Amino acid sequence: MASPYNGLLNQIGNSFLRPKGQMGDWQHAARTFVDDYFRLAPKAKFLYHVYFDINSSAVLMPQLTQRHRTELGLLVRSVDLPRFTMKTQTLNQYNRKKVVQLTHEYGPMTFRFIDDRAHIVNMMWQSYYKYYYADSITAEVPGAYKRNAYKAYDYVRGPHGFDNNSTIPFFNEITLYQINKREYVSYTLINPLISTFNHDQVSSSDQGTQPAECQMGIVFEAVKYDSGTVSGGKIKGFAQDHYDKLPSPLSPLGGGTSSLLGVGGVLDGVASVLDSAGKGNYIDAAVGAINTYQNTKKINKAGVKQELSTLAVGAAIGAAGQVLNGIKGTNFPIFSNQARQGTTASPTFTSNPNEPAGGGA
C-alpha cells in the first residue's frame, strides 16, 4: 500500500516547478494585507474608545464626574471622525489656472448614544443645558413663564438664556481613539461645544426591536493628533469600568491547555512563568507554574508525536509557499498524459489532499 504522504510529497515537488499550480491560491491576491502581521490590513470600525473630559467645576450633578466619567464614553454607539473642508479659489494668472488656498473648516461631528436606563446620557445633557442656559432652571420657578410676565413686573423671577454666569467651558476636551494591533491613533477635539442634541422618539409600534438613542452634534476649534501603544494607561478611561480583566482560559494564567506547543501549551506556560517572575509578578508566576505543572501531567507521547508531525507537515507546506495544486486543502484536476494526447478525462474534485485528482468521490 502506498504511503499516504506520497500524494502530498508529489504535490510539494510539483509546487517548486510550478509554484502557482494551475490556479494561484488566495495568498497571491491577499499578500498585501497579510504580510508583516497584517500591517496594511484595514482597521475595524468597532475598535474605538471615547473619553469626555468634563470640567468638574461646571457640573451641577457631581455624580456625572465622580461616578460616571468613564461610563459616558462606553455608551457611544457610533461617532464621526473629524472631517475637513479646504476652501480654495482658482485664479487666472495670464490665462494659466492657479489654485490657491483660502481657509479650512471643520465639519460638525455626530455622536450617537445609547439612551441608557441609568440616565447617564440624559444627565450629561441636563448638566450641559443647565450650565449654559438659564431657561431650564428658571422654568422650575412658579410664575416665571406666565403670559403677562414682563420685565417691569415682578413675575420675572429668574434669568433667561445665557444670563447664567457660565464662564469656564463644560468640556475641557473630547478624545476619540481608534484601536488596532494594540496601538491607537487619537483625535482630541479642542474647545468642543454642543451644536445639536436630539432625544429619540417613543412609539408603541416599535415593540422593543430598536434601542432608544440620543444624537449629539459637536463643533470644535481644532484637532490634536496623537498615537502610541494601548498599554500603560495612555488611553484615558480605557479598560477601567466594566472591563473583563480575567485571563483567557487558553492562557497559562487562565488554565492553559494540555498540549506541548501552541498558545497556552506547556512551553508557552514555562515562558509565561519566566516572564512574570522577571517582571516581579510572583503571584502570576506561581499561578502559571501550577497550571503548567497540571497540564504537563496530562500530556502523553501520542499527543506529542501528533503535534510534532503536524508541525513538520505545516513547515513543509510553508516552505513550498503553501501551494497544494493552487488552493490549500483542495485538489483541482491536473493535466495528465492522456489529456495531452487528446483523451478526455473525467476528473472530480476532492477535499482530501492525499487522494489523487480524478479519483473516486
* pLDDT single digits (tens) 153-191: 555 667 777 777 778 899 999 999 999 888 899 999 999
Q: What is the pLDDT of residues 115-144, one digit of tens each?
A: 989 889 998 998 899 888 888 777 777 777
Distance (Å, rounded) from C-alpha 245 to C-alpha 264?
A: 17
Distance (Å, rounded) from C-alpha 113 to C-alpha 184?
A: 22
Cβ(43)–Cβ(178) under 8 Å? yes
Q: Decide which of 191 and 347 is more confident.
A: 191
pLDDT at 311: 61
Model pTM above 0.85 = no
- Exposed/middle/buried for 83, CB within 10 Å: 0-12, 13-18, 19+? exposed
Is the per-residue pLDDT at 340 higher than 70? Answer: no
pLDDT at 150: 59
Distance (Å, rounded) from C-alpha 265 to C-alpha 252?
A: 7
Least Cα distance to 330 among 23, 119, 38, 99 occurs for: 23
Mean pLDDT, range 15-32, rounded to an integer: 61
pLDDT confidence tier of residue 109, bands split at 50, 70 and 90: very high
3-state secondary structure of 15: helix
Residue with cell string 498615537: 227
Mean pLDDT, range 57-75, rounded to an integer: 80
Q: What is the pLDDT of residues 258-275, one digit of tens each?
A: 777 767 777 777 787 787
pLDDT at 155: 58
Q: Decide which of 306 and 113 is more confident.
A: 113
Q: What percent of the chain has pLDDT over 90?
A: 24
The rounded mean pLDDT for the chain is 75
Is the per-residue pLDDT at 357 higher than 50? Answer: no
pLDDT at 349: 42
Q: What is the pLDDT of residues 185-237, one digit of tens each?
A: 999 999 999 999 999 988 887 776 788 899 999 999 999 999 988 877 788 87
